[in-house]
Structure 1
């Protein structure tokens, strides 16, 4: 991928619209991080640890992949950020943040699967300490996996001995080692996470349906059969949050996965920017757009599914007016 200002007006317009939308949502991610970090949303410390980490990584995706890459390429194409060393670092940071965000979602889904389906293991695994360790491990592996990206780019131009802009080396497409790395990279994000989240959700839902049916039969045999079930209510809220986050992940990455499978099956290669009306190009760019958009949806999910999160958000909105009112008095 070439991180330069696009010479094609249509593509530049697409990039501008997409990047502007992501920039507007970065503020929502900051507010989400601040609210979740307070720990007043009625969630366990384990869940809060995962959600805060996911929100931080989503924010870093917007900073590295949108603001410092696409918006910079459109508005400031010839700054120091376009020179080879900085350009390479930005690309690596973009992939690290995107990969880590994806695998944190997988880790969160697995944690909820253990909490709901494996009650004995829950006491050992679903703790804040384990969550912190998992987050640290995912971040470390995300860094190690994407460091090789630094070595696959060459400069587009060399002006006054200064290398400008990044373009992928020809050897990346011919070297067996790089071809294997590229395949593993695309399988590990998002194909494998997509399948893992789908599998974990299916197993979780099946377990919940079985347990719910058993509890209804048991409670129907008691005098309190018509009373509410606090445990099932708690599970219901947990499932709503889990399904909203993982479901959004799968839907927004479905286009990217479909394009990857299409390219692999047909061996047609990825589309270039020479023709913005090419259906292959539209599918490919739509996949990229929806992939980055997923970094902005979790804030809306928290607000839509968590009552206490909405209450905290209202407090944040009211706080400036409270300060103004206090000043006027």
Structure 2
């Protein structure tokens, strides 16, 4: 629940546009915060917490359970591609000055965000049809397990490959390549500005442009690195299932050999949606100031209520 409120705070703070960020960057960061919030709601609250404390609630009737898994996949996809489109935006802003004025705008950001949401929803609708009841109690289907045909059907195998290539394989490649080019451009620009500042007092230390670029690259690398590290095990699990010809965890046997690997991958995947707020706080001084102001306002509000 703590991470739920943390992401809500991030959305509120960024939406107020007092962090010194452009509206284009703000759109992408709010999009990431919203998708991270959806991941926490669908994957943590509706799936994990409800599954532990309310295992026979209506959420675990098979049709509802299947919808929840589709929503989990869709929100996770949006969260991943939010990181990708933010990386692309920063790449264009730093490495493509001629394209920057046309691409790095709030209108383009809104269109890109809408396209990512639409494509993710369409693609992940298929997950609803992958599951079947684990048990049938009183003619009611309960819980979800992956159909056996999912592992033998060429169509479902193709879908699984497409799904894993689109998330997270392609994002891995895009983020690594774009970040490499971005770093190269930034280092090149810094060297040029250092040469221009030769002989001037303070040299590069008082160069506002260099400081802004440094802050931008720190934020970009922290967000990208968080995604790459925490999604790696999830990707390795997929390779293990397909290459070793084993099945995903079915939910009926907690001693299956791939259970620990798969659950650890899911845990780290979910954790990646919880860390971004701390990245903003660690890398953006204005964000920290806004966060602290919000905390003080909340404390004062609670104190006034208690006095009554």
| Other-structure match for 1:182 | 160
| Other-structure match for 2:41 | 63
Contact preservation (8 Å) 2:145, 2:250:
no
User: CA distance change for structure 1 residues 213 and 28 in 2, over 3 Å: closer, same or farther?
Assistant: same
Inter-partner Cα distance in structure 2 for 1:50 and 1:251: 21
| Other-structure match for 2:216 | 238
TM-score, normalised to structure 1, is 0.87
Moved more, 167-176 or 234-243: 167-176
* Number of aligned positions between the proteins: 305
Among residues 191, 206, 210, which one is paired with 2:169 in the alignment?
Answer: 191
Does residue 19 of structure 2 align to residue 47 of structure 1? no
Q: Secondary structure at the match of 2:288?
A: helix
- Superposed displacement of residue 159, structure 1: 2.8
Does residue 168 of structure 2 align to residue 171 of structure 1? no
Matches within 5 A, 1:178-257: 178-220=156-198, 223=200, 226=203, 228-257=206-235
- Superposed displacement of residue 261, structure 1: 3.3
Moved more, 290-299 or 166-175: 166-175
Inter-partner Cα distance in structure 1 for 2:82 and 2:264: 23
Inter-partner Cα distance in structure 2 for 1:79 and 1:275: 21
Structure 1 gap segments, 5+ residues each: 1-22
Moved more, 264-273 or 140-149: 264-273
| Other-structure match for 1:113 | 91
Structure 2 gap segments, 5+ residues each: none
| Cα RMSD, aligned residues only | 2.1
TM-score, normalised to structure 2, is 0.92
Contact preservation (8 Å) 2:164, 2:235:
no
Inter-partner Cα distance in structure 1 for 2:222 and 2:214: 12
Q: Secondary structure at the match of 1:312?
A: helix
Inter-partner Cα distance in structure 2 for 1:292 and 1:261: 19
User: For each residue in 1:106-131, what CA deviation from the matched residue of structure 2 results, as whole angstroms up to 9, or x when unmatched?
Assistant: 00000000001111111110011111
Inter-partner Cα distance in structure 2 for 1:147 and 1:271: 21
